[in-house]
Structure 1
Amino acid sequence: MNAPQPLDYRAIDVDNHYYEPLDAFTRHQPKEFRSRGVQMVQDGKRTLAVFGGVVNHFIPNPSFDPIIEPGCLDLLFRGEIPEGVDPASLMKVDRLADHPEYQNRDARVTILDKQNLETVFMLPTFACGVEEGLKHDIEATMVAMHAFNLWLDEDWGFHRPDGRIVSAPIISLADPEKAVQEVEFVLSRGAKIVCVRPAPVPGLVRPRSLGDPVHDPVWARLAEAGVPVVFHLSDSGYMAIPALWGGSGVFKGFGKRDPLDMVIMDDRAIHDSLASMIVHQVFTRHPKLKVASIENGSYFVYRLIKRLKKSANTAPYHYKEDPVEQLRNNVWIAPYYEDDVKLLAETIGVERILFGSDWPHGEGLADPMTFTADIPQFPEFSAEDTRKVMRDNALDLLGVDVTVTA
C-alpha cells in the first residue's frame, strides 16, 4: 500500500457508524408492539436481540461490549494476511466505555477534528438487520422504523447547524402510504439523506421491486427535496440463496460460516437493487433522484453494466433512456478501500466516486485518511480528482455548491 496523501482540506467520509444503545428501538416503541417489534432480553450475562418474538443473530452481541477495534481486520479484507497467521488472531476488542465517540455525538465531533474530517454520513450498525427480521409483520416494521428514527434524531440529529454529522434515518417501503408519511416526517426534522435497505420490498401478498410504481410517491418526494437515497450493506434476505445450496439461511455478522455462503451471496443484493431501480424505470420517471451505494464495494458495477447493455439490446422497446447512462448519471459509488479506484473512475467517471472508511468497524480503516493511499496518484489521478473523491463528490450528492465551499 502507498503512503497516505496529505490533504490541504478536510474530507467528507460517507461511511461512518455509531453503535446503537440497547434502547435505540425500544425507547419510543409503543408498548402494544413490544412482543411484535424489537426486544432486548437478558439471558444470563448475554443480551439477546428478539425481533417479533424470534432471537436474531445479525448482531450477536447487541450490547456492543466488548467492541471490536477499528480497522483490526484490514489485512483480512485486503487479502494480505501473512502466511501462517490465523485470521482469528486479527480480531481485537476494547471496552465500549472507553469510547464515548461510538455513542455520543459531541465526543464524535472531537474525533472528527483529529481525523481531519469536516463531515461524516452517520449510518446504522444494528439497525441494518431489523427490517429483514420483521418483514413478515408490515405494521410492526413501520412502527419499529419510526421509533428508531425518533431515537436517531434525539441522540444524533438528522442534521445539526454545524453540519459535521449527517445522520441517515431509515425508510422502509413495506407500507407505501406510511413510507410517504415517514419521508415527510424525517424531512420536517431536517434529514439530508435517507437509508433504504437494498432488498426486495416486503409485501402482504408478495415482495415488490424497488422500481414498482407504487413507490413513486417516495421517490418523487425525495427527488423534489434533493435528498439522496443511501443503499448500505444490510441483511437483505439473501441468505436464502446459499440456503438453496445447503447453507443455514441465517445472516450472522461474525463467527465461522461456510465460505460458500459469501461466494454465492457476495454483492448480489446491491446489484439487484440498482438493477430494479434502473430496469423498472425509476430514474426515467424521477430523473432528479440521487442514489448512493455505500459499503457494497464496486465490482458489481461492471457486471451490472454488462447486463444492462445486454438487456437494452434484447429489449430496446422497454427502455426510454440508455440504462447504463442512468447508472452513471444518478448513482454514486463508495468503493471498498481495497477496490480498483482507477478502474471504477474509468467506468463511471471520477465524479461519481465517494470516500467511505467504515469507521469505527473492524473491517474498515483504523484511520480514515489512509483511504488516500488506495487512490491512484499522478498521472492516473490529479490532485483535483482526489479532491473530488475525498470531498467534492459528496457535496454534489447533497446538492451543495462546491464552489461556495471551496
Structure 2
Amino acid sequence: MPELAYQAIDTDNHYYETLDAFTRHLPREFKRRGVQIVQAGKHATTIIGNRVSRFIPNPTFDPIIVPGCLDLMFRGQVPEGVDPASLMQVEQLELRPEYRDRAARAAVVEQQGIETVFMFPTFGCGVEAALRDDIPATMASLHAFNRWLDEDWGFDRPDHRILSAPMISLADPGAAAAEVDFVLERGAKLVHVRPAPVPGVGKPRSLGDPVHDPVWARIAEAGIPVAFHLGDSGYLQLAAMWGGKDTFEPFGPGDALDKIVVDDRAIHDTMASLIVHGVFDRHPRLRVASIENGSDFVHRLSKRMTKLANQSPRSFPNDPVATLREHVWVAPYYEDDLPALAERIGVERILFGSDWPHGEGLAEPLDFVAELAAFDAGDVRKMMRDNALDFLGVPVAAPAGR
C-alpha cells in the first residue's frame, strides 16, 4: 500500500444492501408497487414495479466477486489468449461483514489508510429507473431507503469515516424538497441524484427545469454537494432503437453496439442540462460531482458547449466551460488520461475514487496513487484528499511545513 503523509478521502465506495433496504420502511400501500424480493430456497428474484429486474441478478450478494478482480479487463490489458470472463473471481467465504456493517467497514477504511469514504448504493442505483412510470412509488421507495440507510450506515457519525449519500429523486418536486429537508435534518453531508432525465407525468423533464429550483436552492443553501453516480439512467432505450435491449443488465450478455451507443451519454447530458438550462446561474453556490462515470465526457461536452456558445451567445449569460470548471468535480476511472483531464478542468476538480469493493474497481484503494506519476506531490495531495474537502465545503488546511 502506498505511503502518504496524510490520509486520503475516497469519493467512491459501496455497500451491498440488505434484502430489506427498500422494504423495511415502505408503507403497506406500496408493497406491491415498490421493490419486492421473492425467495425460493437460496435463490432470490427482484421484482420492481411488477416487473422482474435483472439490474442485480443476485440481490443477496452472496456470493460476490472479489474486489478489483476485473482490473485488467477495464484497463484493456487482458493477456492474449485469456478469456476476459475467466478474470471474474468469486469470494469463497461468507459475505464479509464490512460490506454490510458500518463498524466493520470503518475499521477496514482505517486499515486502508483512508480518513473518509463517500458511500453509494449498489442495488439501489437501478431502482428509480425501474419505477419511472410510478412517481408516488418512486418517492415512497427512496424515502424508505433513506430511512434504512440512516439506520444501518448513518449519513454522518462522529468519526467521519463514512459519509453515506441519501438518494433524491426529483420526479415529484414537492416531495423531493421535503426529502432534502428530511436528510439534512439527519446530518447528510451530500446527496445522490440519478444522472438522467427526470421522470414526469406526460413527459420527462430536464434537471435544469425551473420547477426543480426549490430543491437546488435548499441544497445550495445548506452548503452540501450533489453526487451523480453511475447507474441505470434509462439510456438503454437508445440501444433499443438500434435493435438492442432496453433494460440495464450489467452482468448479463449484451451486444457491444449497446455499449457504444449508450457509453457515457447520461452523465454528458446530465451536466449539459445543468449548465445549458442555467442551474448554476440561478444557484451559484451549488457544487456537483460526477462519480464513476469516467472523464471522457468532459472533453466532448466542453467542445460542444464552446461551439454552441459561439453560435448562440445569447443562450449563455456566462462562459459554459468556465461554469463547468467552477461547479463540477470529476472522479475519473483510474485508467483515464488524467493529465488531459487536469488540463481541461484543472487539477483542483479531480477526485480520487476507488469503487471499492466492486470487481471493476481497485483491489487496494490507494493503488490509485500509481496513476498519478505525471503529477507533483502537491497535485497528488489535491486529488487524493484536498479536492474532496473542497467539494464538501470543508476548509482545507495547508500541509505541514508550508
TM range (shorter): over 0.9
Partner residue, 1:233: 230
TM-superposed CA distance for 1:405, in Å, is: 8.6
Query: Quick one: which of 261, 266, 274 aligns to 1:264?
Result: 261
Partner residue, 1:27: 24
Q: Secondary structure at the match of 1:195?
A: strand
Q: 1:193 to 1:375 in 2, by over 3 A?
A: same
1:250 aligns with 2:244: no
Query: Quick one: which of 388, 391, 395 aligns to 2:382?
Result: 388
User: Amino acid of the residue matched to residue 386 of structure 1?
Assistant: V
TM-superposed CA distance for 1:5, in Å, is: 4.9
Contact 1:14-1:122 at 8 Å conserved across structures = yes
> Greater shift after overlay, 35-44 or 329-338?
35-44
Query: Quick one: which of 279, 284, 290 aligns to 1:282?
Result: 279
Contact 2:63-2:92 at 8 Å conserved across structures = yes
Contact 2:173-2:212 at 8 Å conserved across structures = yes
| CA distance in structure 2 between the partners assigned to 1:405 and 1:236 by the alignment | 40
Q: 1:101 to 1:5 in 2, by over 3 A?
A: closer
User: Amino acid of the residue matched to residue 310 of structure 1?
Assistant: K
Partner residue, 1:400: 394
Partner residue, 2:112: 115
| CA distance in structure 1 between the partners assigned to 2:128 and 2:75 by the alignment | 30
Q: Secondary structure at the match of 2:252?
A: coil
Contact 2:70-2:360 at 8 Å conserved across structures = yes
> Greater shift after overlay, 95-104 or 244-253?
95-104
Q: Secondary structure at the match of 2:198?
A: coil
User: Amino acid of the residue matched to residue 219 of structure 2?
Assistant: L
| CA distance in structure 1 between the partners assigned to 2:151 and 2:41 by the alignment | 31
Q: Structure 1: 5+ residue runs without aligned partners?
A: none
Partner residue, 1:317: 314
| CA distance in structure 2 between the partners assigned to 1:317 and 1:301 by the alignment | 23
TM-superposed CA distance for 1:337, in Å, is: 0.3
Deviations 1:299-335 (A, max 9, x none): 0100000010011111111111111000000000000
CA RMSD in angstroms, aligned pairs only:
1.2
TM-superposed CA distance for 1:255, in Å, is: 2.4
Query: Quick one: which of 13, 24, 30 aligns to 2:10?
Result: 13
| CA distance in structure 2 between the partners assigned to 1:156 and 1:99 by the alignment | 16
Query: Quick one: which of 152, 155, 178 aligns to 1:155?
Result: 152
User: Amino acid of the residue matched to residue 403 of structure 1?
Assistant: A
Q: Secondary structure at the match of 1:153?
A: helix
User: Amino acid of the residue matched to residue 172 of structure 1?
Assistant: S
| CA distance in structure 2 between the partners assigned to 1:273 and 1:21 by the alignment | 29
Q: Secondary structure at the match of 1:93?
A: coil
| CA distance in structure 2 between the partners assigned to 1:311 and 1:336 by the alignment | 28
TM-superposed CA distance for 1:382, in Å, is: 1.3
Partner residue, 2:300: 303
User: Amino acid of the residue matched to residue 283 of structure 1?
Assistant: F
Q: Secondary structure at the match of 1:68?
A: coil
Contact 2:62-2:95 at 8 Å conserved across structures = no
Contact 2:64-2:95 at 8 Å conserved across structures = no
1:366 aligns with 2:360: no
Contact 2:190-2:225 at 8 Å conserved across structures = yes
Q: Secondary structure at the match of 2:38?
A: strand
TM-score by length of 2: 0.98
Partner residue, 1:75: 72
| CA distance in structure 2 between the partners assigned to 1:156 and 1:405 by the alignment | 31
TM-superposed CA distance for 1:97, in Å, is: 2.7
Contact 1:65-1:96 at 8 Å conserved across structures = no
TM-superposed CA distance for 1:163, in Å, is: 0.7
Q: 1:293 to 1:392 in 2, by over 3 A?
A: same
Q: Secondary structure at the match of 1:306?
A: helix
Contact 2:245-2:258 at 8 Å conserved across structures = no
Q: Structure 2: 5+ residue runs without aligned partners?
A: none
Q: Secondary structure at the match of 1:32?
A: helix
User: Amino acid of the residue matched to residue 213 of structure 1?
Assistant: P
Partner residue, 1:40: 37
Query: Quick one: which of 179, 182, 189 aligns to 2:179?
Result: 182
| CA distance in structure 1 between the partners assigned to 2:41 and 2:264 by the alignment | 37
Q: Secondary structure at the match of 2:306?
A: helix
> Greater shift after overlay, 332-341 or 89-98?
89-98
| CA distance in structure 2 between the partners assigned to 1:404 and 1:149 by the alignment | 35
Q: Secondary structure at the match of 1:67?
A: coil
Deviations 1:373-394 (A, max 9, x none): 01134xxx11010000000000
| CA distance in structure 1 between the partners assigned to 2:164 and 2:177 by the alignment | 19
User: Amino acid of the residue matched to residue 380 of structure 2?
Assistant: T
1:211 aligns with 2:208: yes
| CA distance in structure 2 between the partners assigned to 1:62 and 1:98 by the alignment | 12
User: Amino acid of the residue matched to residue 29 of structure 2?
Assistant: E
Partner residue, 1:169: 166
Q: 1:96 to 1:129 in 2, by over 3 A?
A: farther
TM-superposed CA distance for 1:172, in Å, is: 0.2
